[in-house]
């Protein structure tokens, strides 16, 4: 009988703004250290050596050539460990985790390591007929295919999201991230690299938010309400529940990938969250922690609005989101799972979690968390996890 899939270890690099501390590291140099760290954590959790069946990594703009396999070799996992690279754009890292979990749930009960990696600093320049371009089309000719900045501005207009709300949302993300960093909330998930020991964009834009010029004439978006393009990697170890034993972790309860209007791709996370909750037979009110990738303040607020959640809901990105931490595209969805693991498994139980005694390490068994991302081209990906102990 197929087993359930459980995340028992979760690690990430500090997130570095493109061109800064991590700029000299290519994708495998970013991914290999976190692969090794997650595997070591998983082996410590189950008290035995683990044979990895596969490494599955999301990546959007890298060099090609299957970065997951290259990273597995660079990590020293052995020539017998294969690799698969997933491209669902900003949802790639979460999609990779779901692919690994799905293999286990389908009956292949060997451990896997999954997540994502992105190095915009070392990404190759692409060209078509000798003309450089930044990205491939997200939709065929004749369909709307806005770049993500334009799409976020259009979404702000469509939903009537003001500059003031966007500034407040970005400020809140920085404030939460700074408090979490200062409290050491990220310490156990980070694998320092190239001298970088913390996410380097936390707080950088906050003092300037109200003074930054808009990106489009007559618009509302600014550089401060758009996340920073970043370098980074994040992975989790996914094992069958029988192998997890008594190790605490996040059991995959439900997930979904959906399509939406490619003209407004930023809303994709909302229907994906609802579909994932339906598959888990759960509701929004059952969820103790949300990690929804904040590509833009307007996009994040539009998703929250469609889900019926308040702008400042304390369950959503409680330690700050991508607006403060940065956005390494192919890794961001996996960072959301690492952050859920940090909040629900490693850290103290969230405020208001039913049945959580004061001072406990981690939320009690049965607590639910949701990871989600909106994706260029009109997609959404989401997953519902349950704490086990």
Lowest mean pLDDT among 136-140, 259-263, 331-335, 351-355: 351-355
- pLDDT of 61 > 50? The answer is yes
**Which residue in 90, 169, 174, 317 is the catalytic one?**
90
Residue 80: which residues within 8 A CB-CB, separation 6 or more? none
Average confidence (pLDDT) over 338-366: 71
- pLDDT of 243 > 70? The answer is yes
Angle ∠(369,281,246) on CA atoms, nearest 5: 50
pLDDT in tens, 357-371: 334 468 999 999 999
90 given a catalytic annotation: yes
Domain ranges for the chain: 5-124+138-388
Percent of the chain with pLDDT over 90: 90
pLDDT in tens, 269-284: 999 999 999 999 999 9
Do the Cβ atoms of 114 and 236 come closer than 8 Å?
A: yes
**Which residue in 169, 174, 255, 327 is the catalytic one?**
327
What's the chain's length in residues? 389
Q: Which CATH class is domain 5-124+138-388?
A: alpha beta
169 given a catalytic annotation: no
Distance of CA 364 to the CA centre of its chain: 23
Q: Taking the model in full, what pTM does it have?
A: 0.95
- Measure the CA–CA gap between 219 and 150, rounded to whole angstroms: 10
């Amino acid at each position: 009988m197929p087993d359930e899939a459980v995340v028992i270890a979760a690690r990430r690099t500090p997130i570095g703004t493109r061109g800064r501390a991590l700029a000299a590291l290519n994708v495998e140099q970013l991914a290999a250290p976190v692969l090794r760290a997650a595997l070591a954590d998983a082996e410590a959790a189950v008290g035995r050596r683990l044979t990895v069946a596969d490494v599955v990594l999301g990546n959007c703009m890298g060099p090609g050539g299957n970065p997951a396999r290259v990273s597995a070799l660079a990590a020293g996992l052995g020539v017998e460990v294969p690799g698969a690279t997933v491209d669902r754009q900003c949802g790639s890292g979460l999609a990779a985790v779901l692919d690994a979990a799905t293999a286990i749930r389908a009956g292949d009960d060997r451990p896997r390591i999954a997540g994502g990696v992105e190095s915009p600093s070392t990404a190759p320049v692409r060209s078509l007929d000798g003309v450089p371009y930044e990205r491939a089309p997200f939709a065929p000719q004749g369909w709307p295919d806005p770049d993500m900045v334009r799409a976020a501005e259009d979404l702000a207009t469509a939903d009537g999201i003001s500059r003031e709300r966007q500034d407040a949302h970005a400020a809140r993300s920085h404030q939460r991230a700074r408090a979490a960093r200062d409290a050491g909330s990220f310490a156990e998930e980070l694998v320092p690299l190239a001298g970088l020991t913390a996410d380097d964009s936390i707080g950088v834009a906050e003092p300037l938010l109200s003074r930054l010029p808009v990106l489009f004439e007559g618009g509302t978006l600014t550089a401060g309400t758009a996340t920073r393009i970043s370098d980074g990697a994040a992975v989790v170890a996914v094992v069958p529940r029988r192998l997890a034993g008594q190790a605490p972790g996040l059991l995959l309860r439900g997930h979904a990938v959906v399509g939406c209007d490619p003209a407004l791709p930023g809303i994709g996370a909302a229907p994906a969250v609802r579909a994932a909750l339906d598959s888990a037979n759960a509701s929004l009110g059952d969820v103790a922690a949300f990690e929804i990738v904040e590509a833009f303040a307007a996009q994040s607020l539009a998703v929250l609005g469609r889900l019926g959640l308040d702008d400042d809901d304390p369950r959503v990105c409680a330690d700050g989101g991508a607006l403060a931490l940065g956005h390494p595209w192919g890794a961001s969805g996996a960072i959301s799972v690492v952050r859920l693991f940090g909040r629900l498994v490693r850290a103290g139980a969230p405020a208001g979690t039913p049945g959580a005694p004061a001072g406990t390490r981690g939320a009690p068994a049965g607590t639910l968390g949701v990871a989600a991302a909106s994706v260029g081209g009109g997609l959404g990906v989401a997953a519902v996890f349950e704490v086990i102990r």
